[in-house]
Structure 1
Amino acid sequence: MKKIALILFSIFMLLIGGCSNNSASSDVDANKNSESEKGLTGFQVSKEPIDLKIHLHHFDGQVIFNDDWTTFKKAAELTNVNLKGVAPKTSTDSQEAFNLMIASGEIPDLVHGTKADLTKYGKEGAFLPLDDLIEKHAPNIKKYLDEMEGLKEFATASDGNLYFIPFIADGKAQKGWFVRQDWLDKLGLKTPQTTEEAYEVLKAFKEKDPNGNGKQDEIPYFSRIPESLGDLTILWGAHNDLYLDGDKIQYGPYEEKYSTALSGLANWYEEKLIDPEIFTRGAKARDILLGNNQGGMTHDWFGSTAGYNDLLKDQVEEFKFETFAPPQNTEGEKVEPTVRDPYGDKAGIAIGYSTEDPVKAIKYLDFFYTEEGRRLMNYGVEGETYDLIDGKPVFKDEILSSPDVPTTLHEHGSQTLFSYHQDFEYEKQWLNPIALKGIEEYTANNYFAEPLPPFTFTEEEEKKIIEIAADLKTYRDEMMQKWVMGAEEIDYEKFKNQLKNLGVEEYIELHQKAYNRSSEK
């Protein structure tokens, strides 16, 4: 299927490539129907109702645009633009659905996709460059691009054009530390404050039967995401990837501290303080180990992890899974290595090259960057999913009482990965109080590591970085697993030499150059 799609796309690109000139096409296309309509009121984009087609298919078919979504029906009432979904309803592979749409050459008016896909095919002519359209017809999007730090840099392709309008996440806290408070209480232990204390707590969980079943079956530290074991390197002052040190870009695994961190994790694993199946247990690790009253500590997303306090309250007696501050690492710092990136979903909406009216399309997208449009995408339709109380949207009880609020909102079209700015206040309304407490603590104390800024690369730099990054990640993850599990003795000099052979120094240098360019603006 993928080979067929590639052949079809190659033919499509040959057909449109010869007449495509991205630097000028936005001006040409914008003039097709760019005459300003007089007599528009409110948020209207057109005097008469019009239809635009959209391809929106993500989470492998869990969210596919539905013409009956009330959020977008309300947007149609306000703008006179009605969206018609064209993504296949039966597909369970979002990437394949996108590839087939591209290969067909029938690009709809609006297309949801990843930054990588939308910029790649935008540069090849499938999507319009939006810079001029935004400058002339989208004042709300323009305001975001001008005022929101890093947004323009993130969204701009290596050829200097902007081919999509991103989804922008809100909030700062992402992951945090969780520990079985009921186990601490039973064993008379305090919440760990340092890396050494965390070790002692895990050791007690392993040896002192906190679940009280007479067996040594506790799993002191567990994770549903094997790669997230890299987050724990911060306990020894190390980093698992690129990070910002002052104004210098560094690559954590290329530093001696990484060897120390992996040695520490290997010791924990050898002592069975880390789940022996951490690399294979998979996404159900929390369900299994917490549900079986075996899991003791983890580092995971605040919202979903705190939710187990509600899910298991009738299943596990006295169950308490509480958040706690990052343990002070061996360098005397409390650092949370993850932070919610506003552009971390790396997705948004592009405008197809053959749309009949690019101006109306960009004006429609601009609506979602108004206060009204943003509220609509975050909360849904007033009177249906929320009420305005003292000027603030408050979800109705039937929304808050649903077992999965985000999924319930998706059924109305809200909180989808469209193009708008998320509002973290929506999340606060349904988060477990334990999650809120953790988020507030991490945010108030600013435990977060300095996030990397969005980088803008030249086309040549981008190709090289993609090539090197894949090799570095594969080798790093492979060696982490071998070292932690004890399958191979740690030989850091050999590891460092191989990173060098894979191009790590050029990788760092290219990011440093991009960072310097951004800093000079």
Structure 2
Amino acid sequence: MKKKQASTILAIVTALAVLAGCGGGSTATGSQNGEAPAGGEQAKGPVSISIMANLHTPEVPSDKIEKIIEEKTNTNLEIQWVPDGTYDEKVNASLATGTLPQVTYLKNAASLVNMRDAIRNGQFWEIGPLLDQYPNLSRLKPDVLKNTAVDGKIYALYREVPLSRQGIIYRKDWADKLGLGTPTTIDEFYNMLKQFKENDPDGNGKDDTIPLTDRNDLIYGAFKTISSWFGTPNNWGEKDGKLAPEFMFPEYMETMKFFKKLHQEGLINQDFPVTSKTDQQNLLITGKAGVYIGAMGDVSSLHPKVVEVNPNAELDVQNKIEGGPNGFGIWSVPGYGSVILFPKTAIKSEEELKDVLAFMDQLMSTELGNLIYWGIEGEHHKIEDGKVIPSEDTKLTDREVKPYQAMQVGGPLTVEGFLEAKHILPVKAKSEELIVKNNDYLIEDPSAALDSKTFNEKGVQLQEMIKDGTYQFMLGDIDEAGFQAVIDNWLKSGGQQIIDEYNASYEASK
């Protein structure tokens, strides 16, 4: 298990979980706080910048924030807002026709993997050697940039996400009634589930409680988080000096056995392999279930719904459940949600590239970084005690602010002076504190910056074998020998090639 110490300031990270701004920077050829333009260039007239951004809302936003960005950066912007459902398709079609804009945001980490061959073929600018020329871009985290690298070279900027938001949300009022404290070990967690099942925590006199509510997602549901408690590597781990997939480690088998036990004893919803996230959450909201495992920040949306059903309900959160051989650890993401590439078909020269990077640098300034994320003070949020309280008019912020968050460069950890959200709900504030504490116990994915041609071509298909086999074992349909047969089939169908290619890439990266 690889752990990473982090002395991150809570005031920075809490802002990642909420919605709503501030205003201004300088010119596209300058930098914040009146510093000289990158490379010593003189200020120019307005620079035209074309952008493709992912639209996560039903409507294209108003151009109110866009106009402020143009004014502060001395640019003319042409933003293509592409709906999330067709975003990858649009990017791929534009790549094929040579019509990508100068600033191309990719949808997610998987989209970057699919773009690696085009990057290797020289279709995008390498920007790593230039980043030190820009005061804000140079604040991006080297470890995260490394995770975006292709063959060790940096081609992308990134939009930041918390490294690990995982933990449990549970009915504290139920735990209090049964004399249970906050669980800190796997045994205590299991005992809580057992007590919720057997001792009528809701007081209705019926044996109808579902202790743990889960869904059909081995990553963002309960499975991967609990596997971290057992000490399972994050996607890939090192065994005898070589990388191997997580499901070839004994801790993965221990996790499956634990879930099988929960299923057999009725401590988890029996149909969890086919339960949607909405249905999973509804079991907690309606008081049928007492424990939810996932992003701890979900407590802010779950709490009002839970107390609407039962005004006496109380939720609490916990992150640190120990049980593995090396103590507590929690799986982490590579540190970015999406990346930004710069196509050579749209940017013809290094001089033009520097103009574009100067604009991106301004998006990371204190003023514009907050504007893009929070919107305009007095319209989309207010400031109280130096912290942001978003407007309660979520339709307004969804329409005018949320779309622009997809254009964020960096985030709370890297934008100097990024404003913190003021959480009115105490359990939400606690969840953000625990998300920060997770940074001290990260289990990182050693394959994040590695490459495998076979994985790119067949990885999704092959992973379905493992997913199906994992569920079959947890439901009692196959035993350990049956799961080994699944692994053997995975190896013969291309998995061994993936192992060999990742290890070759791993050795080359050392």
Decide: shared fold, TM above 0.5: yes
Structure 2 match to 1:377: 372
Tell me if 1:56 matches 2:56: no
Asked if the contact 1:174–1:340 (Cα under 8 Å) also holds between the matched residues in 2, the reply is: no
- Supply the AA of the counterpart residue of 1:143: S
Structure 1 match to 2:95: 102
Whole-Å Cα distance in 2 between the matches of residues 454 and 367 of structure 1?
A: 32
Out of 403, 407, 424, the residue aligned to residue 418 of structure 1 is 407
Distance 1:315 1:353, change over 3 A: same
Asked if the contact 1:223–1:300 (Cα under 8 Å) also holds between the matched residues in 2, the reply is: no
Asked if the contact 2:372–2:404 (Cα under 8 Å) also holds between the matched residues in 1, the reply is: yes
Deviation at 1:323, TM superposition (A): 1.0
> Matches of residues 31-70 of structure 1 in structure 2 within 5 Å?
47-59=44-56, 62=58, 66=61, 68-70=63-65
Tell me if 1:196 matches 2:193: no
**Which one is further off, 474-483 or 348-357?**
348-357
Whole-Å Cα distance in 1 between the matches of residues 295 and 270 of structure 2?
A: 22
Asked if the contact 2:59–2:399 (Cα under 8 Å) also holds between the matched residues in 1, the reply is: yes
Q: Secondary structure at the match of 1:312?
A: helix
Whole-Å Cα distance in 1 between the matches of residues 419 and 100 of structure 2?
A: 33
Distance 1:244 1:58, change over 3 A: farther
Whole-Å Cα distance in 1 between the matches of residues 294 and 420 of structure 2?
A: 17
Distance 1:163 1:181, change over 3 A: same
Asked if the contact 2:70–2:76 (Cα under 8 Å) also holds between the matched residues in 1, the reply is: yes
Asked if the contact 1:69–1:413 (Cα under 8 Å) also holds between the matched residues in 2, the reply is: no
Whole-Å Cα distance in 1 between the matches of residues 44 and 88 of structure 2?
A: 36
Deviation at 1:436, TM superposition (A): 2.7
Out of 360, 363, 368, the residue aligned to residue 365 of structure 1 is 360
Asked if the contact 1:57–1:97 (Cα under 8 Å) also holds between the matched residues in 2, the reply is: no
Could you list the per-position Cα deviations for residues 385-416 of structure 1 after superposition, in whole angstroms to 9, with x for gaps in the alignment? 456788x5x32x5x253458xx9267226762
Whole-Å Cα distance in 1 between the matches of residues 464 and 428 of structure 2?
A: 33
Out of 442, 463, 466, the residue aligned to residue 456 of structure 2 is 466
Tell me if 1:168 matches 2:160: yes
Distance 1:166 1:238, change over 3 A: closer
**Which one is further off, 379-388 or 199-208?**
379-388
Identity of aligned residues (%): 19
Question: Unaligned regions of 5+ residues in structure 2, if any?
Answer: 1-28
Distance 1:326 1:502, change over 3 A: farther
Paired residues in the alignment total 460
> Matches of residues 257-296 of structure 1 in structure 2 within 5 Å?
257-296=251-290
Asked if the contact 2:164–2:442 (Cα under 8 Å) also holds between the matched residues in 1, the reply is: no
Out of 437, 442, 445, the residue aligned to residue 452 of structure 1 is 445
Structure 2 match to 1:488: 478
Tell me if 1:154 matches 2:147: yes
Out of 273, 291, 310, the residue aligned to residue 316 of structure 1 is 310
Larger RCO of the pair (alpha carbons < 8 Å, separation 6+) = 2
Whole-Å Cα distance in 1 between the matches of residues 131 and 137 of structure 2?
A: 6
- Supply the AA of the counterpart residue of 1:195: I
RMSD: 3.7
Whole-Å Cα distance in 2 between the matches of residues 454 and 381 of structure 1?
A: 40
Whole-Å Cα distance in 2 between the matches of residues 375 and 220 of structure 1?
A: 41
Whole-Å Cα distance in 2 between the matches of residues 353 and 131 of structure 1?
A: 19
Whole-Å Cα distance in 1 between the matches of residues 87 and 237 of structure 2?
A: 31
Whole-Å Cα distance in 1 between the matches of residues 340 and 438 of structure 2?
A: 32
Could you list the per-position Cα deviations for residues 88-118 of structure 1 after superposition, in whole angstroms to 9, with x for gaps in the alignment? 57x8422223233334433323222142355
Deviation at 1:76, TM superposition (A): 0.9
> Matches of residues 344-355 of structure 1 in structure 2 within 5 Å?
345-351=337-343, 353-355=345-347
- Supply the AA of the counterpart residue of 1:56: A
Whole-Å Cα distance in 1 between the matches of residues 78 and 275 of structure 2?
A: 41
Distance 1:326 1:455, change over 3 A: closer
Which protein shows a greater Rg?
1
Question: Unaligned regions of 5+ residues in structure 1, if any?
Answer: 1-35
TM-score, normalised by the number of residues in structure 2: 0.77
Could you list the per-position Cα deviations for residues 340-389 of structure 1 after superposition, in whole angstroms to 9, with x for gaps in the alignment? 5422x143243451346434222211222334443333333455445678
Distance 1:444 1:98, change over 3 A: closer
TM-score, normalised by the number of residues in structure 1: 0.75
Deviation at 1:135, TM superposition (A): 5.9
Whole-Å Cα distance in 2 between the matches of residues 351 and 381 of structure 1?
A: 31
Structure 1 match to 2:397: 408
Tell me if 1:226 matches 2:217: yes
Whole-Å Cα distance in 1 between the matches of residues 447 and 412 of structure 2?
A: 21
Whole-Å Cα distance in 2 between the matches of residues 56 and 429 of structure 1?
A: 28
Asked if the contact 1:323–1:438 (Cα under 8 Å) also holds between the matched residues in 2, the reply is: yes
Asked if the contact 2:263–2:474 (Cα under 8 Å) also holds between the matched residues in 1, the reply is: yes
Distance 1:511 1:144, change over 3 A: farther
Q: Secondary structure at the match of 2:226?
A: helix
Q: Secondary structure at the match of 2:372?
A: helix
Q: Secondary structure at the match of 2:309?
A: coil
Distance 1:157 1:62, change over 3 A: farther
Distance 1:455 1:282, change over 3 A: closer
Structure 1 match to 2:172: 181
